[in-house]
Amino acid sequence: MVFLAASDRYDNMKYNRCGRSGLKLPAISLGMWHNFGGRDIYENAREIILRSFDLGITHFDLANGYGSPALKAEQVLGEVLKSDLTPYRDEIVISTKAGYDAWPGPYGEWGSKKYMVSSLDRSLKRLGLDYVDIYYSHRPDPDTPFEETMSALDLIVRQGKALYIGISNYSAEQTSEAIRILQKLGTPLLIHQPSYSMFERWIENGLQDVLEGGGVGTIAFCPLAQGLLTSRYLEGIPDDSRAAKPVAHLRKQHITEEKLAKIRQLNELAQERGQSLAQMSLAWVLRGGRVTSALVGASRVEQIEENVKALNSPDFTPEELQAIDAILEQ
């Protein structure tokens, strides 16, 4: 059956300009870190991707190692692009990254020009594309000069393999250096992808100021703290949750009774606002316009539908923001 995108897909989504560039990103983007690959049913992944697009989510975020098992997420999106979304390619922003372990040997991770270029070539083959819209350095390499990694990104843009470049997991100081080098090369930094949520606020200690000063956009990953800031953990750790899986990045020992108490208090505040905890958490990340887009994952279509409704929420009052801070500081 031929996929026809919803005619009203742009009516309710909010789009924010990314830094000082001409590119706009949806306030909610789909991240494909988990739940896309061999251990998951392809049709479920396809349904999530297509429903996201129908809801106005035009940005799909990947990395060379994403998926279950690793490396499969790009292949899954490539198959959906080929079967359903090829007519809509110009309406879609696709990003991928390189920096973590992707293949054996000395050239399979970090930030050398050899690795950055080779990894993107592999990603493009898996995606079935000639170019991606955004290509990231996924993490800073302590042993490779920043000039080499940034010049690799600059080269990739000049080759037409990516339209824009980004960085992820860089500190404020490292980001300042990346901005400086890239400005000198003539390929400005478009975007930074840091972790950011109510439970992870490190970007507020300098990085946000650096990004705003450099005209760089921000897309927050793990805005729901890998599911902690949802209704999933209100009664403890479910057996089928991410924290209960042996391969999960979220560990049971990190979910203390103290943290669960905070989650329950935040949930009560969300209910007072007429929202789910997930919706309030996303609205909080996007508050004030300092974050361009919040990057959410999904294992079910219903999760995407719920998350997009966060954009319908009222602005936070000063009292609500103070209440949230008081809960988090306990």
Residue 239 has pLDDT above 80, yes or no: no
Q: Which residues contact 133 (CB under 8 A, 6 or more apart)?
A: 23, 92, 93, 94, 95, 162, 163, 164
When pLDDT is cut at 50, 70 and 90, the band that residue 210 belongs to is very high
Residue 35 has pLDDT above 90, yes or no: no
Residue 85 has pLDDT above 60, yes or no: yes
Report how far residue 57's alpha carbon sits from residue 316's, in angstroms, rounded to the nearest whole number: 24
Helical H segments across 273-311, by residue range: 277-286, 301-308
The fraction of the chain above a pLDDT of 70, given in percent, is: 93
Check: CB of residue 192 under 8 Å from CB of residue 207. yes
Check: CB of residue 318 under 8 Å from CB of residue 326. no
Report how far residue 271's alpha carbon sits from residue 143's, in angstroms, rounded to the nearest whole number: 48
Vertex 298: Cα angle to 99 and 28 (nearest 5): 80
- In this prediction, residue 71 carries a pLDDT of 81
Helical H segments across the chain, by residue range: 42-54, 72-80, 113-127, 146-158, 172-185, 207-213, 257-272, 277-286, 301-308, 318-328
Q: What is the mean pLDDT of residues 47-55?
A: 97
Per-residue CA distances from 128 to 29, 59, 121, 141 (Å) = 21, 17, 10, 28
Report how far residue 197's alpha carbon sits from residue 219's, in angstroms, rounded to the nearest whole number: 11
Per-residue CA distances from 80 to 40, 83, 85, 214, 288 (Å) = 15, 5, 6, 36, 35
More confident residue, 236 or 212: 212
- In this prediction, residue 70 carries a pLDDT of 77
User: Distance between alpha carbon 10 and the CA centroid of its chain, in Å?
Assistant: 20
Check: CB of residue 236 under 8 Å from CB of residue 228. no
Residue 243 has pLDDT above 90, yes or no: no
Say which amino acid occupies 32.
M
Q: What does the longest C-alpha to C-alpha distance in the chain come to?
A: 54
Average pLDDT, the chain: 93
More confident residue, 203 or 249: 203
- In this prediction, residue 245 carries a pLDDT of 55
Q: Tens of pLDDT along 127-164?
A: 999 999 999 999 999 999 999 999 999 999 999 999 99
DSSP per-residue letters across 118-138: HHHHHHHHHHT-S-EEEEEE-
Q: Tens of pLDDT along 290-327?
A: 999 999 999 999 999 999 999 998 999 999 999 999 99
| Residue the block writes with tokens 């005209």 | 215
- In this prediction, residue 251 carries a pLDDT of 57
More confident residue, 245 or 324: 324
Check: CB of residue 68 under 8 Å from CB of residue 39. yes
More confident residue, 130 or 241: 130
- In this prediction, residue 225 carries a pLDDT of 94
- In this prediction, residue 310 carries a pLDDT of 97
Report how far residue 169's alpha carbon sits from residue 140's, in angstroms, rounded to the nearest whole number: 7
Check: CB of residue 280 under 8 Å from CB of residue 27. no
Residue 248 has pLDDT above 80, yes or no: no
More confident residue, 229 or 36: 229
Element of type H or E holding 166: strand 162-168
Sign of the CA dihedral 299, 302, 305, 308? negative
- What's the CATH architecture for 15-227+278-312? Alpha-Beta Barrel (3.20)
Check: CB of residue 47 under 8 Å from CB of residue 77. no
